[in-house]
């Protein structure tokens, strides 16, 4: 027996229908909402755990960009141009600071003779990288960034005497710079 138009409006199924119209009960909706809440909370915890790593990666990228921009400005304008790396002069994102994690035992350049890890994480004279008008740097150096104690990772940004800027990541398992 076909359903009359008023049955469809009211949401009622015709008698003897193989597919009776049904809605969801309150209990079913609450269970689904609870499962969605659990999934969202797990995702939020994973996101929060990833923040120190992402902030360190972005900070290292920003330092590389700032050094390259400072060098390019010195070349373009034909003047000495400097950038200072100290806690008060250079702002780092949350979870990131100048320095080394505990496992780092050699410089990224590979020259270990006479290497002494700097307490402040910057090996430039007066914590300042100064580029000459021809793009070379006054004194080569390295900037170490870490997210210790949040993630125990270290990144290094080196500037050699020709002004080349290069970034490295410390591989804790291999005890090597990548």
Residue 142 lies in a domain: yes
Phi-psi category of residue 121: left, alpha or beta, with phi > 0 → left and psi -120 to 50 → alpha? left
Q: Which tens digit of pLDDT belongs to each residue from 1-27?
A: 555 555 554 555 566 666 666 678 888
Residue 19 lies in a domain: no
Residue 1 lies in a domain: no
User: CATH number of the domain that 40 lies in?
Assistant: 3.55.40
Range of the domain at 107: 26-177
Residue 14 lies in a domain: no
Total number of domains in the chain: 1
Residue 15 lies in a domain: no
pLDDT value for 74: 96
pLDDT value for 117: 58
Region 72-76 average pLDDT: 96
Cis amide prior to 78 (ω within 30 degrees): no
Comparing C-alpha atoms, which of 140, 118, 145 is closest to residue 58?
Answer: 145
């Amino acid at each position: 027996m076909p359903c009359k138009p008023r049955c469809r409006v009211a949401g009622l199924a015709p008698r003897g229908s193989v597919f009776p119209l049904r809605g969801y009960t309150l209990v079913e909706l609450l269970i689904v909402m609870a499962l969605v809440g659990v999934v969202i909370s797990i995702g939020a915890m994973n996101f929060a755990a990833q923040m120190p790593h992402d902030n360190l990666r972005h900070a290292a990228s920003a330092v590389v960009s700032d050094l390259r921009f400072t060098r390019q400005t010195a070349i373009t304008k034909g003047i000495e141009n400097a950038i200072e790396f100290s806690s008060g002069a250079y702002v780092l994102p949350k979870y990131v600071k100048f320095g080394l994690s505990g496992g780092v035992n050699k410089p990224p350049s590979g020259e270990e003779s006479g290497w002494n890890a700097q307490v402040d994480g910057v090996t430039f004279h007066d914590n300042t990288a100064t580029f000459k008008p021809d793009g070379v740097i006054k004194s080569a150096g390295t900037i170490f960034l870490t997210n210790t104690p949040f993630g125990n990772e270290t990144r290094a940004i080196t500037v050699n005497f020709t002004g080349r800027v290069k970034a490295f990541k410390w591989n804790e398992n291999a005890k090597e710079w990548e």
